[in-house]
Chain A
């Protein structure tokens, strides 16, 4: 079945460091891929998305490129801030009702 695997956390970085959170997927068909962010005490918010191969999603300095050949959708940011501390979820959707979420990666950014 469809699945999403993302790197285990927590990831701890200093402010202004480069961030990569790895995400790989297994899916039949042609999924849309998403990154959601969850700040403490809140629900998930859509961070960015890509709907077809080679698309790049971007938002708030975060980027991820849909790589069909490596079935990956890694999240990157060039310079993280303390306010980026949150849990990040990679997800896929192939149509139908179901969105498959990864287990989440917690990011801590130190000042």
Chain B
């Protein structure tokens, strides 16, 4: 399927377990992003990637790990899940990051709702 997909769509796990959320895009966009959405906070950036093997921290990176071995995939791993990581996670991609140029808008996946018990 064309576009950006996330899996799983829903996940329930227990405190202390490792969880990996998958993100796949078919556009060959250079830039990919992980956000978490919490009530009252809007979207907060966890990690981003400018290209394969280039990743960097966003606003709230603690407790998360990312990798990007291929341009199209950008998995997010919670190494030891905590209840505070219960959230909806969105992956996004964009062609560029220039402020006013073409291709700088972000395209979002459908989200993964994660519950940590």
Residues in A lying within 8 Å of B, measured CB to CB: 29-32, 34, 36, 41-46, 49, 51-52, 89, 93-99, 101-104
**Assembly CA distance A31 to B108 (angstroms):** 20
- If A89-B42, A99-B106, A101-B42 touch, does A30 touch B100 (CB 8 Å cutoff)? yes
Q: Interface size (B, Cβ < 8 Å)?
A: 25
Q: Are A97 and B43 in contact (CB under 8 A)?
A: no
B31: Cβ under 8 A from any A Cβ: yes
Q: Are B45 and A30 in contact (CB under 8 A)?
A: no
Q: Which 6 A-B pairs have the closest CB atoms?
A: A43-B108, A95-B99, A51-B100, A103-B42, A101-B42, A44-B108
Q: Are A43 and B90 in contact (CB under 8 A)?
A: yes
B105: Cβ under 8 A from any A Cβ: yes
B107: Cβ under 8 A from any A Cβ: yes
Closest to A89 in B: B42
Closest to B111 in A: A43
Q: Are A31 and B99 in contact (CB under 8 A)?
A: yes
Known: A43-B109, A97-B56, A97-B97. 13 other contacts (CB 8 A): A29-B99, A32-B99, A41-B110, A42-B110, A43-B111, A44-B43, A44-B106, A46-B107, A51-B99, A95-B98, A96-B97, A98-B48, A103-B40
- If A43-B108, A46-B107 touch, does A93 touch B45 (CB 8 Å cutoff)? no
